[in-house]
Structure 1
Amino acid sequence: MTAFSITVMYSPAPRVVHERVVPLSAGVTVLQALQQSGLLAECPEIDLSQPEVFTVCIWGKKTSPDHALRDLDRIEICRALTVDPKVARRERFQQQGSSRAGLFSKRRAGAKPGY
């Protein structure tokens, strides 16, 4: 069996990232790699049986826990979004006001709004 390494990443909160490089043997699945990394034991809030709360990805693409890994794969445990990005952007725009955001922030003298 060939030995290789993978990276396991999880962010429980904004600006907090747990990253582990785990040496594994060939034929290991995503779930086995997560168990061997110790991340599931360290972060008991991770419950992979709830796909609406936690999603497992490899390099940003959704995968299943029984997917076989390859060398240099990066497993990411993704949390569900707490706020819709469109709603968050709209709220930021309303707080900033139209004079300081987007196309209206840098206006030349005498130019039409937005140019």
Structure 2
Amino acid sequence: MASASVSADTALAVDIVWSPHPGELREQRLSLPSGSTLARALADSGWFEAARLPSLTAGIWGRVKPLDTLLREGDRVEVYRPLTVDPKEARRQRYRATGRRIVTRHRPLGRKA
């Protein structure tokens, strides 16, 4: 857990979020000393064993970052689960189930201009 002895002038507040299972979301606000890394935030969350840290995929504000990345005030640390299905294959399966094309971009379905 975050250390209570961190003084207010050298502390930085970060949010850490993790979804261990579909439909479940864990959120936690941590107060860390300035100069802390992504690995430190993951360790201080209390959610992961130290031996598991190197195998985690984590990022800041939706971008995957190495565990030695320095954190800044207000960062949102995110821990990512591995994909269970390739995104292209998931779209194919949804199309087969509904029979409708799923448009993800704002462009007409007709011919290319």
User: TM-score interval w.r.t. the shorter chain?
Assistant: 0.7 to 0.9
Q: Which amino acid aligns with 1:65?
A: L
Give the TM-score normalised by the residue count of structure 1: 0.72
Residue 109 of structure 1 corresponds to which residue in structure 2?
A: none
Residue 37 of structure 1 corresponds to which residue in structure 2?
A: 45
Alpha-carbon distance in 2 for matches of 1:3, 1:49: 25
Q: Which amino acid aligns with 1:102?
A: R
Residue 56 of structure 1 corresponds to which residue in structure 2?
A: 58
Structure 1, unmatched stretches of 5+, are: 104-113
Structure 2, unmatched stretches of 5+, are: 1-8, 103-109
Alpha-carbon distance in 1 for matches of 2:17, 2:42: 10
Alpha-carbon distance in 2 for matches of 1:76, 1:85: 20
CA offset at residue 48 of structure 1?
Answer: 3.1
Question: Which digits, 9 at most, give the CA deviation of each residue in 1:30-65, with x for residues without a partner?
Answer: 111111121215xx9x93323xxx311011111111
How many residues are paired up?
95
Alpha-carbon distance in 2 for matches of 1:68, 1:25: 11
* Structure number having the greater strand percentage: 1
What is the aligned-residue RMSD (CA, Å)?
Answer: 2.2
Residue 19 of structure 2 corresponds to which residue in structure 1?
A: 11
Alpha-carbon distance in 1 for matches of 2:73, 2:48: 21
SS of equivalent residue, structure 1 residue 80: coil
Displaced runs of 4 or more, over 3 A: none
State which of 16, 19, 24 in structure 1 corresponds to 2:32: 24
Q: Is the CA contact 2:15–2:27 (under 8 Å) kept in the aligned structure 1? A: yes
Alpha-carbon distance in 2 for matches of 1:12, 1:29: 22
Q: Which amino acid aligns with 1:89?
A: R
Give the TM-score normalised by the residue count of structure 2: 0.73
**Percent of pairs with identical residues:** 39
Alpha-carbon distance in 2 for matches of 1:49, 1:31: 8
Q: Which amino acid aligns with 1:23?
A: S
Q: Which amino acid aligns with 2:53?
A: L
